[in-house]
Chains A and B, each alone.
Chain A
Amino acid sequence: MEETADYKKIWTLCEKIFPILNDFNTPCNDEEPFLKNDFEEMCYFMKLNGLQDLLQHLVFNKIEKRLRDEVVPEFWSNFKKSDKKGFKPFYNAIKSLYDNYRKFETIIIRLELLRQATDIKVNPYNERNLHEALKLILHSCLLGQLQADYQTVTTSFYEAALKIEDIDETNVNAVCVECSEEKDNCNCVHFFQETNRKIGEMGFLEPLVGQTLTNLSYNYILNHIQKTCKDNYDSFISGLEKWLHTVVITCLKKIYYFDSTLSLNESMEMFEKKLVNYLYNSYTKVRIDQLFNIVIEYPESLPALEDIRLCLPRTDLKPLLTKKLQRAMETRLLHPGVSTTDILTAYVATIRSLKVLDPSGLLLETVTYPIHQYLRSREDTVRCVVSSLTEEGPNDLAEELNRAEPVDENTPIDDEDENWESWTPDPVEPNPTKKPSKDVGINRRNVDIISMLVNIYGSKELFVNEYRTLLADRLLSQYTCDTEKEIRYLELLKLRFGDSHLHFCEVMLKDIADSKRINQRIKEDSEYDENNIQLSTMIVSQQFWPPFKEEKLELHDTVLKQMEDFTKAFETLKGSRTLCWKNHLGIVNMEIALNDRTLNLSVSPVHATIIMHFQDKSVWELEELSKVMQCPPTILRRKIGFWLSHGILTEIKTDVFSVQEETESQTVTQEDFYVEEFESESAMASAQDQKEEELQNIWSYINGMLMNLDSLSLERIHHMLKMFAFQGPTTECTQSELKMFLSRKVRERLLIYSNGLYQLPK
């Protein structure tokens, strides 16, 4: 039994050297010395009996058991107390874990000695050495018992740490944010570093807190971006990247400095890539969210746009951009609450800013497709475009028109030839809304804003027509002969739309200039006598002007006499030609002297005629005046209302009006005030009236067709009309308009509709 005794003795020795073997409850006291002789004896025995591998195995088993059953649960128990937020729980957990780890380390050191002495070849867990093996066990135990919400604790720890690191926040008060101690007494930074060192030494920086750190950094970056970019459209991306390196990465370096598993450079390089990518991504996203505002603020927001342009190739957010911008447009722009002018302004801004983002214009086309659709549905679009084109004052479109070089189809080709090396193909992206239109594709890169606006309608005619009406309105309402500006605009428009389309407008402007000359000539005429009324006339070539609104009006005799004289003078000046007066059009500058006041007014001929009649006879009945002026009483009453509101006439009884020579006390008497009547009625017939008239003209064609061919379908009628009838400058009638017109005729029993065919009633 000596052998047994020997074994027992050796076992005691083993237990003495590796107390963990005995009872894992006893703390393995690394201070406890062991005798060199004991150790040597044990080694000798082990080697003799070949038990060294077994011993190493036993010790590791014990370490593992102890870690699993005792140390790690204790560690995680710190995490369960979720009420403790902030710094301490994690710090304490790491502290106790580390203390235990140190103890295991001493065991490992002794095992190392054993290995050297007994020449153990086997490495536990196939690790490089025992320390690695210990770490492996620790990691597996830790992660094996991972708490579901461990991240809240780590997050709050690192959040606190970041707060301390963040210079901005600590600068404000001299007290540490975490422990509320005076800065000088605060040990938080020290604790923090100590904890990191310990985690790093145990080698689970990345597995345990890597994700937390990443998340935290992400949040931190995102917050910073949002804070920086809020309502500010400067360029930030380079600044942000610098900030990322100086603040976030430096801070992370401090933590990863202790990482024992990877070299600092290696781990940081990985992290940096991740963070920079995230920075770009989230910056672009933030900007995309703001894009609508950025677009509206153009050109102040140009730096932000440049940023997006830089970021887009590095991220994959183009589809998101398209989608978000389109949605923003739809919710913020394309609804009835926004005026057409505003939509147009926004549209112009969109065109300009998206050209910055994507010179190929494909993005623009995709994004603006809904705007096109919407603008097409608005009636006043063309009018708005035209009026803002020619408006005075700061205006995008007017600037664009002035700036513009004529669009020449040859230029783009030259351009591309020169830069063939830097040519890039159009970006490839699914574009379901795009119509297959070849000619648009070719010129997309060079399309300018005005052509884009005109292209909304796809027809120059409509646009030019609207311009003609507006021009006529302006010429007739201003009654000034300052046509220089208009001529300039016309020249600019001619560059775009070609001479032939604007020929009518040219004649109109020439009419104005000619009128000026003719007026002067007639006034110099010795036979022409101008003692009654200073008369000047706009002599228009009716064929070239849009149709005037017809209104019947008999002017006052003195005016008529003057006009007769003027006509005579004109007839002598221009042989075989005469004048047809548009009595209701024009403007009259008059002075009205009453007993207690004098007024200077610019009024329309109707108003002037009324007041002139009242000069002859101070009391008029409505009916009577209506007969004299050949103006319907209802309209006349409205016109008299103008004088009532000026306090010059009063209604003494129903439908009887009289001059009010003296103002009653409540009206403020002003010696001489100048009132301009501002009735924004167009002198031109409204578009609807015009259309109606055109359709009436068409009716005779249709009648003729049906007489010869008996019955025809809608398509056929439309086709034939297109061939024969639609040739004037304004005539253009869609099939649906025609259908509406025809069904009205059917209702009026002038047509019969059956089996999809129209027929004349027998």
Chain B
Amino acid sequence: MKVTIKQWTGVASWKWVANDDNCGICRMPFDGCCPDCKLPGDDCPLVWGQCSHCFHMHCIVKWLQSQPVNQQCPMCRQEWKFNNK
């Protein structure tokens, strides 16, 4: 017997490779989107700080804008720096 697979259509769900499930700011799942967005994934990406914490990009940007003096990570209070990995 010879079996030839002509076409295999599989199903997979995508997920962010992050150390947590939910965004520490908006408490929404990373695989979802921040409260301002409608579409997850490319339209509502995650960003990592050098402190290794990550958030929805929109969330952390909003947070940083609301901090006039020190730009700190809301989780560990270290200075926030984007980790461009």
Contacts and interface: CB of A to CB of B under 8 A. Distances in A.
Do these two chains interact?
yes
A428 B71 CA distance: 70
Contacts of B17: 576-578
A591 B5 CA distance: 6
B39 A590 contact: no
Contacts of B15: 542, 577-580
A592 B16 contact: no
A539 B1 contact: no
A513 to B, nearest CB: 11
Interface in B17-51: 17-18, 29, 31-32, 38-42, 46, 48
B9 A608 contact: no
Interface string A644-671: 0000100000000001010000000000
Interface stretch (A198-206, A213-221, A612-620): A612-620
Given A541-B40, A543-B32, A580 B13 contact: yes
B12 interface: yes
Interface string A567-589: 10010001011111111011111
Nearest to B13: A542
Contacts of B42: 574
A581 B2 contact: no
Contacts of A580: 12-15
Nearest to B46: A576
A74 to B, nearest CB: 101
A590 B5 contact: yes
Nearest to A538: B11
A559 B13 CA distance: 17
A570 B3 contact: no
Contact of A588 (B8, B38, B41, B48): B8
B68 interface: no
Given A510-B39, A544-B32, A588 B12 contact: no
Interface string A489-522: 0000000000000010011001000100000000
Nearest to B31: A543
Interface stretch (A333-341, A361-369, A409-417, A528-536): A528-536
A661 B5 contact: no
Contacts of B11: 476, 537-538, 540, 548, 581-582, 585-586, 683
B12 A537 contact: yes
A593 B4 contact: yes
B1 A570 contact: no
Contacts of B9: 479, 535-538, 586-589
Contact of A592 (B3, B38, B40, B85): B3
Contact of B1 (A537, A582, A585, A594): A594
Contact of B10 (A538, A542, A659): A538
A540 B3 contact: no
Contact of A536 (B1, B7, B29): B7
Contacts of A578: 14-15, 17
A533 B7 CA distance: 7
A201 B77 CA distance: 120
A503 B15 CA distance: 19
A12 B42 CA distance: 134
A351 B40 CA distance: 41
Contacts of A225: none
A563 interface: yes
B3 A611 contact: yes
A562 interface: yes
A542 B7 CA distance: 24
Contact of A503 (B3, B4, B38, B48): B38
B39 A507 contact: yes
A19 interface: no
Contacts of B38: 503, 506-507
Contacts of B39: 506-507, 510
Given A576-B18, A593-B2, A615-B3, A585 B13 contact: no
Contact of B29 (A543, A559, A582, A583): A543
Given A580-B15, A592-B3, A661-B1, A542 B31 contact: yes
A582 to B, nearest CB: 4
Contacts of B29: 543
A590 B6 contact: yes
B13 A540 contact: yes
B14 A541 contact: yes
A534 B2 contact: no
A605 interface: yes
A647 to B, nearest CB: 12
Interface in A589-608: 589-594, 605, 608
B12 A533 contact: no
Nearest to A576: B17
Contact of B14 (A510, A570, A593): A570
Given A506-B38, A541-B31, A586 B13 contact: no
B12 to A, nearest CB: 4
A590 B12 contact: no
Contacts of A590: 3-6
Contacts of A542: 13, 15, 31
A536 B7 CA distance: 8
Nearest to B54: A576
Interface string A665-679: 000000000000000
B10 A589 contact: no
Contacts of A536: 7-10
Given A507-B39, A544-B32, A539 B13 contact: yes
A581 B6 CA distance: 20
A720 to B, nearest CB: 20
Ranked nearest first, the 6 interchain pairs of A and B with the lowest CB-CB distance are A585-B11, A542-B13, A543-B32, A589-B7, A579-B12, A586-B10
Given A538-B12, A618-B1, 10 more contacts: A514-B41, A544-B40, A570-B14, A578-B15, A581-B10, A581-B11, A586-B10, A593-B4, A594-B1, A612-B3
7 contacts: A534-B7, A541-B41, A559-B8, A563-B12, A574-B42, A578-B17, A579-B12
